[in-house]
């Protein structure tokens, strides 16, 4: 058998290295697809895995306090390693101008590559994710509903009778796997971040495991490559920026915050494409526009008798 020269690699070794590299790339691609397919594409992995810089306190007194707190919420918190969000707080997008602009964007992308049609988010599903959480049973869903309703007075106090207007402008991506319309910069971002922070605290105080992004980045998703897994096998591994170049600085319109929904990631969506909604809370004065009133009426009807609206 012929020996390779010094520092050389024979054909079998080359084949093994190539195979290992291919397996590694496929594993990485599948992992990215799984993560970006959820409504919480930017959740910080450290938070989800329970990694923290805080020192562990092992005193008996602290353990007793934790036991009493756990008993008070009448539930056993799942281990952090088992934490998998299945519910989220959603701010629905109902402004027709925004929806029309996004559909125009989607059509422009599809015209350039028809294969991407299956990656588009339905217009009925457009939303901003405020917080993700894990609700394991009906009791925890009811606790989540109560927590959502408790947010209402805080938000209204924060806004001091004013409307929170959310303007959308420009396009961004998460790793060129998820395409989204950006929320324009401004004071409204700080207000929305404060609401998200308080929502996280409110749910956790009730014993609910809630995921928190270290750098809250509200966004409006319009496409996900993970919705069409077969594209990767056909060479489409990233969203080409040239596809949305003409929309890179476009103003899509403004959404007025008037409702926050507690939605399921897993239950069957409504007929209009929006997520299954367990409960809603209306912020400030109810919308007075005719179309907004129609949207609100349809929303309440599709929620069913089980839901609570306050």
Distance CA 19, CA 261 (A): 47
Angle between helices 138-159 and 187-205 (to 10 degrees): 140
The 10s digit of each residue's pLDDT in 12-54 is 554 554 555 555 555 444 444 444 445 544 443 233 333 333 3
- Do residues 117 and 243 lie in contact, with contact meaning Cβ atoms separated by under 8 Å? no
CATH number at residue 193: 3.90.1140.10
Residue 55 CA, chain-centre distance (Å), reads 30
pTM of this structure? 0.70
Better pLDDT: 114 or 6: 114
The Cβ of residue 62 has, within 10 Å, a number of other Cβ atoms equal to 11
**292, HSE (Cβ side, Cα atoms, 13 Å):** 15
Lowest mean pLDDT among 50-59, 138-147, 222-231: 50-59
Instruction: Give the structural domain span for 128.
Output: 87-290
Tell me what percent of the residues of the chain surpass a pLDDT of 70.
65
Lowest mean pLDDT among 11-20, 74-83, 206-215, 226-235: 11-20
Tell me what percent of the residues of the chain surpass a pLDDT of 90.
57
The 10s digit of each residue's pLDDT in 224-275 is 999 998 998 888 899 999 999 999 999 999 999 999 999 999 999 999 999 9
Inside any domain, residue 105: yes
Q: Is the model's pLDDT at 285 over the cut of 50?
A: yes
Number of domains within the chain: 1
Inside any domain, residue 241: yes
Inside any domain, residue 254: yes
The Cβ of residue 278 has, within 10 Å, a number of other Cβ atoms equal to 23
Neighbouring residues of 99: CB distance < 8 A, sequence distance ≥ 6: 93, 123, 126
Element holding 145 (H helix, E strand): helix 138-159
Q: Is the model's pLDDT at 78 over the cut of 50?
A: no
Inside any domain, residue 188: yes
- Do residues 309 and 163 lie in contact, with contact meaning Cβ atoms separated by under 8 Å? no
Better pLDDT: 2 or 153: 153
For 113-164, list the strands marked E by DSSP.
127-134
Q: What is the pLDDT of residue 17?
A: 47
| Closest C-alpha among 309, 91, 125, 130 to residue 210 | 130
Two structure tokens written together for 118: 């299956």
Two structure tokens written together for 243: 């596809």
Inside any domain, residue 125: yes
Q: What is the pLDDT of residue 186?
A: 93
Inside any domain, residue 36: no
pLDDT average, residue stretch 200-224: 87
Inside any domain, residue 252: yes
Q: Is the model's pLDDT at 291 over the cut of 70?
A: no
Inside any domain, residue 58: no
């Amino acid at each position: 058998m012929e020996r390779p020269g010094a520092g050389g690699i024979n054909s079998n070794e080359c084949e093994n290295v190539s195979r290992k590299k291919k397996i590694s790339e496929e594993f990485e691609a599948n992992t990215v697809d799984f993560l970006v397919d959820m409504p919480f594409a930017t959740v910080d992995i450290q938070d989800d895995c329970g990694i923290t810089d805080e020192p562990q306190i092992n005193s008996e007194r602290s353990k007793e306090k934790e036991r009493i707190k756990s008993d008070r919420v009448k539930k056993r918190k799942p281990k952090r390693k088992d934490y998998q969000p299945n519910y989220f707080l959603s701010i629905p997008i109902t402004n027709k101008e925004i929806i029309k602009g996004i559909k125009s964007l989607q059509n422009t992308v599809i015209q350039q590559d028809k294969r991407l049609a299956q990656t588009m988010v339905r217009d009925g599903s457009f939303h901003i994710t405020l917080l993700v959480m894990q609700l394991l049973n009906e009791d925890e869903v009811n606790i989540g509903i109560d927590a959502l309703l408790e947010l209402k007075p805080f938000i209204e106090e924060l806004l001091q009778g004013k409307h929170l207007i959310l303007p959308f402008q420009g396009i961004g991506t998460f790793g060129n796997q998820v395409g989204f319309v950006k929320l324009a910069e401004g004071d409204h971002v700080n207000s929305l971040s404060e609401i998200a922070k308080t929502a996280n605290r409110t749910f956790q105080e009730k014993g609910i495991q809630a995921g928190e992004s270290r750098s809250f980045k509200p966004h409006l998703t319009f496409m996900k490559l993970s919705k069409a897994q077969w594209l990767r096998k056909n060479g489409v591994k990233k969203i080409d920026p040239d596809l949305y170049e003409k929309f890179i600085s476009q103003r899509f319109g403004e959404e007025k915050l008037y409702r926050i929904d507690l939605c399921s990631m897993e239950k069957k969506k409504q007929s209009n494409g929006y997520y299954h909604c367990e409960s809603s809370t209306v912020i400030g004065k109810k919308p007075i526009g005719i179309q907004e009133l129609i949207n609100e009426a349809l929303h309440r009807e599709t929620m069913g008798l089980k839901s609570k609206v306050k």
